[in-house]
Structures are given as C-alpha cells and as structure tokens.
Structure 1
C-alpha cells in the first residue's frame, strides 16, 4: 500500500496601512509547521465532485480532521485529491481564509485525511455567527440601497475595531475583530466578508501586497451589478482615532487601488466602475440623514458636506475641521484653523462658537454630553 504525506502552511496577513496616517506595519508573514498523522477514513465518495463537496462541508464546519474514502477510478489519484482540496478552499472562502496550516495523508486504496489547523475554532465561530446575526439585524434595513448596506457594514467595522494584536484569540480572525474589537488586516477582511456574504452580497476575500511586498488582505464586493474594492483596514486610521473613518478605499476601482495595492488581477473579477469615486477624500465623516459632513483632504481638511443621493460636494465653511460629530442642528469639531479648539457650528446660520480653548480630539456624543479628549484625558460637556 502506497502512502503520501503532504504538509503545507497558509500565509497570515499581518500588515495594515492606515490611509489617513499614511504608514504601514512591516512585520513579517507568519507560517506554521505541520506534522504527519495516521489515516482514519470515514465518509465514502465515488466522484471527485462529491469529494470536493464533502471537503467544503467540513471546512465550513471548521472540522479539524476530514476523513474521506474515495472508491472511484484511481487514475491520477494524488493529483485529483490535491485539486479537489484546492477547489474546496476556493469555495469555502471564509473558512479557507482562517486556515493556518494543513497536513494531508493518503494511501493507494483511496483513504485520504486532511488535518487542518484554523485561526479560530467551532466555539468561536458559533459566537461570530450569533454576533453577525445581531449586527446585521441592527444596522441593515430592507429599505436600504446596496450602497447603503455596504456603507453600514464598513462603518460598523471601522468604528468598532482597532488595528492591533493584543487579543486573546488570533488577531488574524474575524472573531478577534467582532468579539474583542481588535485585529490585523486578515481579521478585518474576513469579518467584512462574513457580514457582506450574510447580507446577500457577492463578495471576495482578496490577498495581495502593499508598500512593495508587505502581505495584505481586503475585499471585493458586487454592488448593483458592478465589482468594487473595499479595504476596511485602510479605511480605519492608524493609530486608532475614535470617529476618524475615511472612505478612500470604499468601493474603488482597480485603477484607484493599484496606486498602493498589488494583487494577481487574473484571479479576481475586474473593478472598473467609477460610480462611487465621490467618496474619495472623505475623512472624519458625520452623517445626518442623507448628508455627510466631512473633512475634505483634497482641500486642506476644510469642512464640506456630501449629498449621498447626488454625489455632490459643497464647502460648508472655510475652516479645517477634524473629529466631526453632531446633534440636532449643530456640528462639533476640532478647528485646526484655530489651534484645534473645540468648536460648535450652527448649521442653520453657519455661525461658529469656540467651546473649549484647548486642542481636542476624539469627539463623540453620549446621551446629552459631548465627550472629547484633551491631551489624552477624557472630558465631558453637557450640550442639552
């Protein structure tokens, strides 16, 4: 009886770049060692399509060991079971993205065993599923357009996650991002894929490089029949800034992304539509109904508004506004035309008022209070 032992390790995406901060983490790519083990057959199949289907099923269940007995024609047996495993990985996108290492044992009588080490486990994935169910119910409404749904998913991830590795679970997993609020780019992209897929979108998990040859991961998503790139990691500034999201990597084209990303384009659908290019240069965005108030990086961070229905951008006032938030008919922001002072803007009259003569950051509304930081110390100001 002839026996094959084949081992392999999957790449782990370790390197984010924050679009706003314009910096990258250049840590090396991790691989993991593998070891051989004994074959124990269980599921019986007679065709290679059945073989692939069974692997997909087991991968999606995050099974650590997959045992299959193939009893069909044995011509090119080794080549065929390896090709079936590759096809299964491509079909089980979310689970495949979580694979850390694999070890394959097979013999000439048709017994094949795949031992898989994941970045997560079945218990964690049950928690992820419950969390995603709750999140999508809260942030996605039937009346939303596809654009609005993707934006809601992007905004949730960017607003509730921090790039980093200080997690109990693997920081490369969707679990770390969704349950611990921290992950690296692999976790961002896998969480986004999970949410997009469950929300009904055709999505891809993309592996490539940035800043030369630094490994990176992001997504492709089909919106209204057109493919677009979505990089939630690069929409989330580094170091983390509360409320500081950007949209420079939100529903962009191949041409736009190729300015700083590289990938094997032939492995993925082409993204050519420029429909949502109006989202470029939108930072520190605060949304009020169908209007985004934002810091326009194309005009020295001046305060602008964007009509999401038309895509039209208009300057609101000639001030550099960061950390924008709002309530009722007022905006609050750090006025970097005036030393970063906490400033209030009346949207009806466009008159401004300095509330705190100190540089402030990380503005947000909590109940009836405006919460902000001064030199890293949290402060509160009652606004109602």
Structure 2
C-alpha cells in the first residue's frame, strides 16, 4: 500500500490561497486511515471539506471511492476550491498537511490562527454587534457605513494581543489586530448583514503584505479598507472615509493586488465620502473635519452628497448630542468648544487643548494633558 504526504509551509496567513511545498511521496507501509465520510466525487469532497473548514475542524478525514485519475492533484485542487467556499475560515489558516493512501483515504490536518472556542465567542459577538448597528430598513450603503464605523471606532491597529493579532477574535475581544484581523472581521460582519463581499490580498508600501475587502453596493463593486480608515496612531472618534467605497484607480495609488483575481471597481458614486474625518452623524447630516480644506468644519448631506462649510474653524475630535456639537477648536488653541447647530453660536468650555472627545450618557469625556476628564452636559 502506498501513502502520499503533501506538506503546507507555515504562512503569514493573509491569503486564503496558500503556497505549498513540493509534493513528497512516501512508500513505507501504513495502516488504512479510518475516514469520517465517504465521497464519490471530487465536488462532493470539496463541499464537505468546506463545511468542516467553516467549523474550524483541525483533522478532516474522507474516503474517496470515485475514479482515481491524478489523485494527488485532485485532492489538492479540492482543498483550494474548498478554501474559496470558506473564505473566513481559510483566511485564518496557518498551515496545512494532507496525507492519503492508495485506497482513497484522505486526511487534511489544518492549523488555524484561532480555534472553535474562540469562534463560538466571535459568532455571539457578531450577533450582538449586528443587532445594535444594523436595522432592516437600512440601505446597503448604510449597512457598510455602519460596519466600517463600528470597526474603526472600537478598535486600533496593534499586535499586543494574547490571541493571534491576525485573527478576527483579537479585534473583537482585545480591541486590536493587524490588517488581516480587520479584513476578516469586516468580512464576517458584511456577509452576515447581507452584503456580498470579497477578501482581498495585496500589498502596500511596495512589498508589505496587506488585506482589505471588496463590497458590492447596489450592484457595483467598491474597495473598503477598514484598516486604513482607522488613523494610526489611534485617535478616539477619528473615523475617516478615504478608503471607503473607492475605485480601483483610487486605491491603486497606494495599494497593489492581482486585479485579474477580483471584480473591477469603477463607480465613483460615493467619492463624496472622501476627506471626511472625525465624522459625527446627526439624522441625515454628517458633521466632519474636511481634510481638503485645512480641517475646517463642514456638513455633508447624506441624501445629496453635497458638502457645505459650517464654520471657518479647524474642528477636530468632533462629537455631539441633540442640536449641539463638541470639538477641539484648532483655530483657537485646541480649546474645547460647544456649537449650537441652530444658531451656530460657539462657546468655549475649556481653555486648554483637549483631545479624544466622546459622549457617555450625560457626560462629555475628553483628554487634557494625558488625563481623562468629564463634563456634565444637558
């Protein structure tokens, strides 16, 4: 009896498409493998393999009883096809080996950057997040924006995690990850909110591996890079949209990818979202710091996409409640300022530079001289 062993190299697991070491044939006798499932076609094996990958099984066994053909090639092709059907799971692959014998018994051993216990927790977290941020009446655009905003507002880029920083689990439960964790978390949230999405592998800064997403909104594909929408170093409340629903040509300025592997993105419908930083949405209007006009305070009408200047002041760390905005006025020393949106009358609340503004119940929280303070607001 003959057994084949194919080994996968340990990877920096950005891609669901792995590079494998040269196939090695081992001729020493072995005992038959006891398989979990019997399959008669390679398509059936692919489907079952993808199903077990989604369950993050580490040892997957089959007995194949169909035509043998080029057996070694077919079982590797089945694995590659299964990865395309289980993108979220395959994005968490670290390494893989597959062994088989001449009786058709096949065993795939997969090592992940996560585990079943963590993924049960991830799914519960996703359910909770989507319940809070997604409403049935939302458009596809609104759903994608809500997911981008959640990720950017609640996480930071980093590697100081107990779990793998390449995993969605690290992003959801430790508040930080690298681009892979961002993109995989976005992939899961988008898919489960009904948005068609692709997990994209590419490069930035020349040869630095990077991951992001493609999303289909109203029938058109757009790039979404949640990692690059999150400022570095992290700044509370500093969501940006420069990499939100962008085209191939826009992204191609600093990203690179194998374009033939992904759908094209050409629509510029949402280009009005660019240059929007420190955004705060009130009803159908977004108040933001316009990076195209020296961080001046602007208003974006989400229906028309029209931008208008609110004040000729540099406003950062914008937040708000009801008819009031709070921001750091960098035209006036970074002082904490309150703006009445009905009268456009501004009032200085703290004559010191402040950052990281956010509202928690009836308190306005802000940072001054590295310490956090709170101010009671109505």
Matches of 1:257 and 1:376, distance apart in 2 = 35
Which of residues 252, 256, 269 is equivalent to 2:250? 256
**204-213 vs 38-47, which moves further:** 38-47
After TM superposition, give the deviation of residue 380 of structure 1 in Å: 1.2
* 1:361-372 equivalence runs, <5 A: 361-372=355-366
Deviations 1:172-196 (A, max 9, x none): 1111111221111111100100011
Residue 17 of structure 1 corresponds to none
1:381 maps to 2:375? yes
Cα pair 1:40 1:113 within 8 Å, conserved: no
**288-297 vs 334-343, which moves further:** 334-343
Which of residues 356, 360, 382 is equivalent to 2:350? 356
1:213 maps to 2:214? no
User: Aligned with 1:337: secondary structure?
Assistant: coil
Matches of 1:361 and 1:118, distance apart in 2 = 39
CA RMSD of aligned residues (A): 1.8
User: Aligned with 1:285: secondary structure?
Assistant: strand
Residue 242 of structure 1 corresponds to 236
Residue 110 of structure 2 corresponds to 116
Residue 4 of structure 1 corresponds to 4
**188-197 vs 366-375, which moves further:** 366-375
Deviations 1:147-205 (A, max 9, x none): 11111111111111111112221111111111221111111100100011011111111
After TM superposition, give the deviation of residue 69 of structure 1 in Å: 1.1
Matches of 2:207 and 2:44, distance apart in 1 = 38
User: Aligned with 2:336: secondary structure?
Assistant: strand
Deviations 1:59-118 (A, max 9, x none): 011000011111111111111111110000111010010111101111222111110000
**209-218 vs 157-166, which moves further:** 157-166
Matches of 2:148 and 2:125, distance apart in 1 = 16
After TM superposition, give the deviation of residue 40 of structure 1 in Å: 4.3
1:105 maps to 2:99? yes
Matches of 1:249 and 1:154, distance apart in 2 = 10
Question: What is the aligned residue count?
Answer: 366
Cα pair 1:13 1:184 within 8 Å, conserved: no
1:300 maps to 2:294? yes
1:79 maps to 2:67? no
After TM superposition, give the deviation of residue 10 of structure 1 in Å: 3.3
Segments of 5+ residues of structure 1 without an aligned counterpart are: 15-30
Deviations 1:2-41 (A, max 9, x none): 2221111333349xxxxxxxxxxxxxxxx9xxxx999542
Matches of 1:265 and 1:330, distance apart in 2 = 45
Which of residues 100, 121, 131 is equivalent to 1:127? 121
Residue 229 of structure 1 corresponds to 223
Greater RCO (CA < 8 Å, at least 6 residues apart)? 1
Structure 1's consecutive aligned runs of 4 or more residues displaced over 2 angstroms after TM superposition are 9-14, 36-42
User: Aligned with 2:229: secondary structure?
Assistant: coil
Residue 189 of structure 1 corresponds to 183
Deviations 1:298-332 (A, max 9, x none): 00111000000110000000011100011221111
**198-207 vs 344-353, which moves further:** 344-353
User: Aligned with 2:94: secondary structure?
Assistant: strand
TM-score norm. by structure 2 comes to: 0.94
Deviations 1:261-287 (A, max 9, x none): 111111111111111000000000000
Which of residues 75, 83, 94 is equivalent to 2:88? 94
User: Aligned with 2:146: secondary structure?
Assistant: helix
Residue 48 of structure 1 corresponds to 42
Segments of 5+ residues of structure 2 without an aligned counterpart are: 21-25
Distance 1:268 1:312, change over 3 A: same
Matches of 1:42 and 1:350, distance apart in 2 = 69
Residue 145 of structure 1 corresponds to 139
Matches of 1:12 and 1:379, distance apart in 2 = 41
Matches of 2:117 and 2:96, distance apart in 1 = 20
Matches of 1:176 and 1:314, distance apart in 2 = 39
